[in-house]
A and B are shown apart, each in its own frame.
Chain A
């Protein structure tokens, strides 16, 4: 069901953990299934020098979180803000259609954490786009 990249990032997630005294933190919940992602940023001169995450969720959510942290590490805040969930999905060699919503957790987590950093530094928060209302595919029943 999942690509090799997804399984790799799921079984060996990169950048797991917490950062003490982070410069920005974002915690987001996925209203579709109730999963949670927390992301911690360490920022120097507008560059994300370190990032860590914790995720409670499915394989796709964990893999997306891991990949997203890889994608934003070393990037400027501006570059990190521009990373979409589609970019995360592409970097993972795709996700099953019913799992694409899980990658939104990563995008929104990054936005939340960056805005948290901006607020701490007396900058106005950037507008966060809410895109979680997309309907996942129809239910598959448990047997």
Chain B
């Protein structure tokens, strides 16, 4: 139940990829016939991806994953517009692929505004408008958050950006394949996605770049991807990404409906059976598979260890499991005190999860939390 971290490659996807490891191995840049075939399959994959997000095929660029797409969008747009201005607007709850890139750019002399979110993790589009200055050259706000699942009002933010003539990037890594996306309707100029979050292969991503958007290259070398992203194409990866996205979008309505039901039963069940617990993130505007709950008086890593013994994989925003000094920046940004951020548990449902999985968690968690509370010096005792 840690589908937000990564998902297994679907059998159909692996099947579609297989020939491109062996018999169809041609380097798309060569001139042999086998190479032509490789080029064709890349172009048809590009069209599949374009269709899934409402873009044109020549606006789709294959990358090595969400991290590269985010790096490219931020660094590329910032540099290409450096003459015009240097200010970047983003949010406090972005993935580190955005935040650490933004911090790097700050050191290079690009001022960055990190907009706060409310206690459900939502950004006020009005705050974006207020943050815009004459020198703003990029607005980057994630579509949906990887920890708390909160979905932003992307369309409103996009149209504000467009009113000011500023390019709008969104990190849709957690959203793609799981909720409907349209770069056209949502006024998106750049969008990152990553295959391993929708049952595709790891190390494979896309950056959508609207035609006419000024952006420098991130990687230099050969002339692949219309001279904009150097490096021999990852043929099996491209086929895998496109096949996985195609299936995810095809089944989205049905799957997300089912997963949402599991999610809501899990949330309601946990809040009901465990005293001193609270839901993190937005109650309705959240990813279909995301559950994030804080349990007071206990620490997340120890919950994970005990869950693991029951065969349940999960994640936490606790400092103890991050290996860093601090609990999750996302949980702190929604105003959780350190102790509650410490006691957070993230369960993310995906393709293949069942009612039975929900039952297993609902059976395991209350006892685990109770056991840890019995050891905790903070626990005031069972509810009277």
Chain A residues proximal to chain B, CB less than 8 Å? 2, 7, 10-11, 13, 16, 27, 32-38, 54-59, 61-62, 98, 102, 136-143
Q: Contact check, B320 vs A57: say whether CB atoms are below 8 A apart.
A: yes
B4: chain A residues within 8 A (beta carbon) = 143
- The 9 A-B pairs of least Cβ separation, nearest first, read A139-B324, A58-B320, A54-B377, A33-B319, A38-B377, A58-B301, A140-B323, A56-B376, A143-B5
Given contacts A62-B302, A142-B147, A142-B328, contact A13 B322 (CB under 8 A): no
Residues of B295-309 at the interface with A, using a CB-CB cut-off of 8 Å, are 297-299, 301-302, 305-306, 309
B107 on interface, CB distance cutoff 8 Å = no
Task: With CB as the reference atom, state the residue of chain A lying closest to B304.
Answer: A59
- CA separation between A32 and B238, bound complex, in Å? 43
Task: With CB as the reference atom, state the residue of chain A lying closest to B320.
Answer: A58
Q: Contact check, A137 vs B315: say whether CB atoms are below 8 A apart.
A: no
Q: List 13 A-B contacts (CB under 8 A).
A: A10-B305, A11-B309, A13-B375, A16-B375, A33-B319, A33-B320, A54-B376, A56-B298, A56-B375, A58-B302, A59-B302, A137-B323, A138-B324
Which one, B299, B315, B317, B322, contacts A57 given CB within 8 A?
A: B299
- CA separation between A13 and B376, bound complex, in Å? 12
- CA separation between A62 and B376, bound complex, in Å? 10
Q: Contact check, B302 vs A34: say whether CB atoms are below 8 A apart.
A: no
Q: Contact check, B338 vs A56: say whether CB atoms are below 8 A apart.
A: no
Q: Contact check, B376 vs A136: say whether CB atoms are below 8 A apart.
A: no
Q: Contact check, A58 vs B377: say whether CB atoms are below 8 A apart.
A: no
Task: With CB as the reference atom, state the residue of chain A lying closest to B96.
Answer: A141
Task: With CB as the reference atom, state the residue of chain A lying closest to B2.
Answer: A143
Which one, B315, B321, B327, B378, contacts A36 given CB within 8 A?
A: B378
B280 on interface, CB distance cutoff 8 Å = no
A61: chain B residues within 8 A (beta carbon) = 299, 320
Q: Contact check, B302 vs A54: say whether CB atoms are below 8 A apart.
A: no
Q: Contact check, A34 vs B323: say whether CB atoms are below 8 A apart.
A: no
Given contacts A10-B302, A58-B318, A59-B302, contact A34 B338 (CB under 8 A): yes
- CA separation between A54 and B5, bound complex, in Å? 32
Q: Contact check, A142 vs B301: say whether CB atoms are below 8 A apart.
A: no
Chain B residues proximal to chain A, CB less than 8 Å? 4-6, 96, 146-147, 297-299, 301-302, 305-306, 309, 315, 317-325, 327-328, 338-339, 342, 374-378
Q: Contact check, B323 vs A55: say whether CB atoms are below 8 A apart.
A: no
Q: Contact check, B323 vs A32: say whether CB atoms are below 8 A apart.
A: no
Given contacts A10-B305, A13-B375, contact A141 B322 (CB under 8 A): yes
Which one, A7, A16, A34, A102, contacts B339 given CB within 8 A?
A: A34
- CA separation between A10 and B324, bound complex, in Å? 22
Given contacts A11-B306, A58-B302, A142-B328, contact A36 B323 (CB under 8 A): no
B305: chain A residues within 8 A (beta carbon) = 2, 7, 10, 59
Q: Contact check, B299 vs A35: say whether CB atoms are below 8 A apart.
A: yes
A59: chain B residues within 8 A (beta carbon) = 301-302, 305
Residue of A27, A37, A61 with most partner-chain B CB within 10 A = A61
- CA separation between A61 and B320, bound complex, in Å? 10
Task: With CB as the reference atom, state the residue of chain B lying closest to A54.
Answer: B377
Cβ distance A130 to chain B, nearest Cβ, rounded Å: 17
Given contacts A37-B377, A57-B299, A62-B375, contact A32 B147 (CB under 8 A): no
Cβ distance B20 to chain A, nearest Cβ, rounded Å: 26
Which one, A27, A54, A142, contacts B315 given CB within 8 A?
A: A142
- CA separation between A7 and B299, bound complex, in Å? 16
- CA separation between A67 and B318, bound complex, in Å? 23
Cβ distance B341 to chain A, nearest Cβ, rounded Å: 9
Which one, A2, A7, A33, A55, contacts B376 given CB within 8 A?
A: A55
- CA separation between A60 and B375, bound complex, in Å? 14
B6: chain A residues within 8 A (beta carbon) = 143
